[in-house]
Amino acid sequence: MTTLDGLLACAGTWHGTSSLQDPTAGVAADSPSLATVTPVLGGRFVRLDYTWSYQGKPQEGSLLIGFEKKADKVTMHWIDGWHNGDKVMVCTGPGPTSSPTLSALGSYAAPPGPDWGWRIEVTPEAGQGFRIVMYNLWPDGSREELAVEASYTRA
């Protein structure tokens, strides 16, 4: 069994709900979401593509998830038209634990202040579904805030 096996078992198409903690309204904005989980390069990577909407406008994003055995770390390359624009956020996290959750940290610029942290967690649920949860991490490390939560079941 490898670190990506739980997510590889989720290959296929999924439907669910994405909940964005709306920064302008200060409340959760829910929208229908579709996701596709695809093994890449014989299962060495997993691509997770998803759609959602914000204020009625379609949005999309993608995660390319891998595991570097020698470095014992999870890697995630995240693109999302609403959050990242034309940038790729590179995130890394610890290797296998007893939890099925894959977790990785990245950061983004917030001029004129310091960079903020971003944590992504992907939790496969024994091929029955999966969750994606994303958090904003304050620059001083004092707290984190839920930013996005999406849950999926088989379409």
Q: Are strands 129-137 and 144-154 parallel, antiparallel or unpaired?
A: antiparallel
Q: Are 129 and 152 a contacting pair, CB within 8 Å?
A: yes
Answer yes or no: is pLDDT of 117 > 90.
Answer: yes
Question: Residue 29: what pLDDT?
Answer: 87
Q: What is the pLDDT of residues 63-94, one digit of tens each?
A: 999 999 999 999 999 999 888 888 999 999 99
Q: What is the pLDDT of residues 122-133, one digit of tens each?
A: 999 976 899 999
Single-letter amino acid code for the residue at 155? A
Q: Are 33 and 15 a contacting pair, CB within 8 Å?
A: yes
Compute the distance between CA of residue 73 and CA of residue 95 in angstroms, rounded to an integer: 4
Topology of the domain comprising 5-21+29-154 = Lipocalin (2.40.128)
Q: What is the pLDDT of residues 129-153, one digit of tens each?
A: 999 999 999 999 899 999 999 999 9
Q: What are phi and psi of 122, to 5 degrees?
A: -120, 120
Question: Residue 3: what pLDDT?
Answer: 85
Q: What is the pLDDT of residues 18-63, one digit of tens each?
A: 999 976 677 888 999 999 999 999 999 999 999 999 888 999 999 9
Compute the distance between CA of residue 11 and CA of residue 3 in angstroms, rounded to an integer: 15
